[in-house]
Copies of this chain bind each other. A is one copy, B any other.
Amino acid sequence: MNTKQRILDEALTLFSEKGYANVFVGDIADRVGIKAPSLYKHYKNKRAIFDAIIEEMNRRFEEQAKAMQINGTDAAADAGIYKSLSEDRLLKLGREFFLYYLHDDYNKKFRKMLTLEQFHDMELAKVYSKLYVDDPLSYQGMLFGFMVTAGVLKTDNVQIMTLHFYAPIYYLMTICDREPDREPEALKLLDGHIKQFDRLYGRNS
């Protein structure tokens, strides 16, 4: 009954593993448990499946953004919560963020798919940059801005500080996407990174 959605899910899985061009309509159909021609009852053609995935991601993303904005303004109003930020807490937050993005099935697959398709047209490049480069940076930048105001972090350039926090996380994430075996190693580095970050920028530096 929800075949239409199942098609998107299975297609995303396949696209994220092999890239759009290497996935056959028949592969998707197989995984859904139908025959290739049946798939055309739901989508005009292969490309439409891909486009629907991108659209779904946009939809999900906007929901999430809305939710985060609410959190954000709450947080701004109540800057007090940042004052209590200890190294342990920063560590926990960083790790949670990392593991969520890394393991969340939908995020992981979508990110891998976009990685493989990012050079195909400008629009996809923009989506990639937005989701994995610019938005995380500006969101974290906002949080760090509060923390600087609250005196928990010290810097005269929040943007660069945020880059110093996020770039290693991004770097480690790409490693894990490519070689999942290396996750333990990456997690160890992540901890080292955040601890060191706290030492460099934290209250008592």
* Chain A interface (Cβ < 8 Å from any Cβ of B): 16-19, 21-22, 112, 115-116, 118-120, 122, 125-126, 128-129, 133, 157, 159-161, 163-164, 166-168, 170-171, 174-175, 177-179, 189, 192-193, 196, 200
Q: How many copies does the complex hold?
A: 2
Contacting residues, chain B, for A174 (C-beta < 8 A): 133
* Residue from B19, B120, B122 within 8 A of A120 (CB atoms): B19
Contacting residues, chain B, for A168 (C-beta < 8 A): 163-164, 167
Contact B189 A18 (CB under 8 A): no
Contact B192 A133 (CB under 8 A): no
Contacting residues, chain B, for A115 (C-beta < 8 A): 115, 118-119
- Given A21-B19, A119-B17: A163 and B171 within 8 A (CB)? yes
- Given A159-B192, A192-B157: A171 and B17 within 8 A (CB)? no
Contact A119 B18 (CB under 8 A): yes
Inter-chain pairs besides A16-B119, A122-B179, A160-B196, 15 sampled, C-beta below 8 Å: A112-B119, A116-B116, A116-B119, A119-B177, A119-B178, A125-B178, A125-B179, A128-B178, A129-B178, A157-B192, A159-B189, A163-B192, A163-B193, A167-B167, A171-B171
